[in-house]
Chain A
């Protein structure tokens, strides 16, 4: 495996379900990010982790809960989501927070 891998690629869930998105990077980076990409809107930063510590939380609702157990793995735990949360969720990683960010192919999330 190379680069940034996200699983699952597609997820359909009801508003009362609990699910988790997973991201794994094989680049030896020490910073990881979650972004949301909705139709007709720019990518929106959600969370930043540097050296496994959350350094930025961009006013994201508490129904999204990130977890970074080590520098290679990042999770986004989801619960009680709303229909407007349907989007493509992208994970990225970088070496330090100044370097270019490299993205995975995302998880397409649909909320019924």
Chain B
């Protein structure tokens, strides 16, 4: 059974204070690892897809990295508008599993 564990559950940072969010996963074979951002009252907003160990993706202040067991979302010099819940999900390469398995998310608060 696929499993996704995100840590920490919640993180409070000062504006400009860089940090990293962790996503540990267990799958029989990884088809893809996805990062989403979710704001209150909204659906998840797609950020990145990573497919193989060593891959990195960047977008503004966010950078996602992938190893064979975990992924990190690095946030550099965050701003208050980066406050949100960040969700990690995996898609298994096993037969017939087309949906995503999600973690519980990291609730990030950036204080001015």
Name A's B-contacting residues (CB within 8 A): 4, 6, 31, 33, 35, 40-45, 48, 50, 55-56, 58, 90, 92, 97-98, 100-106
Contact = CB atoms under 8 A, between A and B. Distances in A.
Interface string B45-80: 110010000000000000000000000000000000
Interface pairs A-B: 8 shortest CB-CB? A45-B99, A103-B43, A97-B98, A42-B102, A43-B102, A105-B43, A103-B44, A48-B98
A90 B44 contact: yes
Interface string B26-42: 00000110101000011
A58 B99 contact: yes
Interface string B77-90: 00000000001010
Nearest to B93: A98
A101 B41 contact: no
A103 to B, nearest CB: 4
14 contacts: A35-B99, A42-B101, A42-B102, A44-B102, A45-B99, A48-B98, A50-B98, A55-B98, A56-B96, A90-B43, A92-B43, A98-B31, A100-B46, A103-B43
Interface in B87-112: 87, 89, 91, 96-105
Interface residues of B, number: 25
Given A42-B102, A42-B103, A42-B104, A101 B46 contact: yes
B105 A42 contact: yes
A43 B44 CA distance: 10
A89 to B, nearest CB: 10
Given A41-B104, A98-B31, A98-B32, A31 B98 contact: yes
B42 A43 contact: no
B11 interface: no
